[in-house]
Structure 1
Amino acid sequence: MKTLHINDLDIGQDESCRAYSYFLTGQALKQSCESRLDVIECLRVGYPYYVIVFILESTTISRKDLSNILHISTRQLSRYDKDDLLPAELSGPIYEFSRIYARGVDILGDRATFEGWLNRPQLALGGQVPLHLLDTTEGIRLVNDLLSQIEFGFYS
């Protein structure tokens, strides 16, 4: 009889690592990411600037909305070069945005549906647009909690 060990199970990529690398699709990671501790180190080193470019090109998020989430002016955001590493102060909010984005796409089924939801006022958020709440920690929690409610069928 063969014994099954938890380490033998293929349970996929850690959720934190998946969120970290969500917008790094097709790009070689300079650091490996296999655990939450790896994510912390990667965020301390900083996201490469091309993640900003990729977010702006592959989503409907505007430069203005992204700069609001990052608490940086659009002008200052444009000063980075393609190969620059972003400071940890910007990498953290990008990571939180990618966590919400990846989770929302999983729950609502596709990018277009999630982005539509993200840009519409939500009754459960007091009529606020979820995207406009992502500039604060508490706003991120509220949006994440609402996604959990949708996931488990408590809100539609």
Structure 2
Amino acid sequence: MTAVSPLDFDSFENKGLLRYLNIDIPLRNMYDFIELSRNGIDKKALLHLAKTIDFDVKELSHVLNMSERTIQRYDLNKKLNTEASAKVLQLAKLYAKGENIFGDLSRFKSWMEHPSVALAMKKPKELLDTTFGFQLLNEELVRIEHGIFA
């Protein structure tokens, strides 16, 4: 039996995650995620993710807990710190999971924009600034996947 973590290992979702970041590296296990976080995600990959999931710099700054100006000042090849890189990976993983569950990325993006009764009438996107928010959204996606609606 294995422990469940916020970045459950699922090869389909990991391929989506890599596609969203436009990077081509093997992700064989959780240690690869740890190393990728430690090595850092560069701004180029961050911007590719933002374009794919329709996030602007303000939304990115909210998720990463960084100022918009700091993000804007980064060179394209400059890498984010470990904490910000881990959040970028969580964000890409969440959207890959949502696309998989909803069957379409645009449907999942729409769900992320609308208040949910199961989330205390918050828009899912509003909860992305904390690890607990990511955890709550992942749990809600599992419920949706299994047909359990609050």
Give structure 1 regions of 4+ aligned residues with deviation exceeding 3 angstroms. Answer: 13-20
Q: Show CA shifts across 1:84-119 (max 9, x none).
A: 121112101101111111100000111110000001
Unpaired segments of 5 or more residues in structure 2? 1-9
Report percent identity of matched pairs: 30
Relative to the length of structure 2, the TM-score reads 0.85
Alignment of 1:42-81 (within 5 A): 42-81=36-75
Q: How far apart, in 2, do the equivalents of 1:51 and 1:154 lie?
A: 34
Which has the higher relative contact order, 1 or 2, with Cα contacts under 8 A spaced 6 or more apart?
Answer: 2
Q: CA RMSD in A?
A: 1.9
1:148 and 2:142 matched: yes
Unpaired segments of 5 or more residues in structure 1? 1-12
Q: Which has the larger radius of gyration?
A: 1
Query: In structure 1, what is the equivalent of residue 21 of structure 2?
Result: 24
Q: Show CA shifts across 1:40-84 (max 9, x none).
A: 111100012111211222222222111100000111101111111
Task: Between 15-24 and 106-115, report the one with greater CA deviation.
Answer: 15-24
Helix, strand or coil for the counterpart of 1:127? coil
Query: In structure 1, what is the equivalent of residue 90 of structure 2?
Result: 96
Q: How far apart, in 2, do the equivalents of 1:140 and 1:69 lie?
A: 10
Query: In structure 2, what is the equivalent of residue 4 of structure 1?
Result: none
1:139 and 2:136 matched: no
Query: In structure 2, what is the equivalent of residue 9 of structure 1?
Result: none
Q: How far apart, in 2, do the equivalents of 1:61 and 1:83 lie?
A: 20
Q: How far apart, in 2, do the equivalents of 1:42 and 1:19 lie?
A: 16
**Matched residues, number:** 141
Relative to the length of structure 1, the TM-score reads 0.82
Tell me how far 1:20 sits from its aligned partner.
5.0
Match of residue 130, structure 1, among 106, 119, 124: 124
Query: In structure 2, what is the equivalent of residue 37 of structure 1?
Result: 31
Tell me how far 1:15 sits from its aligned partner.
6.1
Helix, strand or coil for the counterpart of 2:77? coil
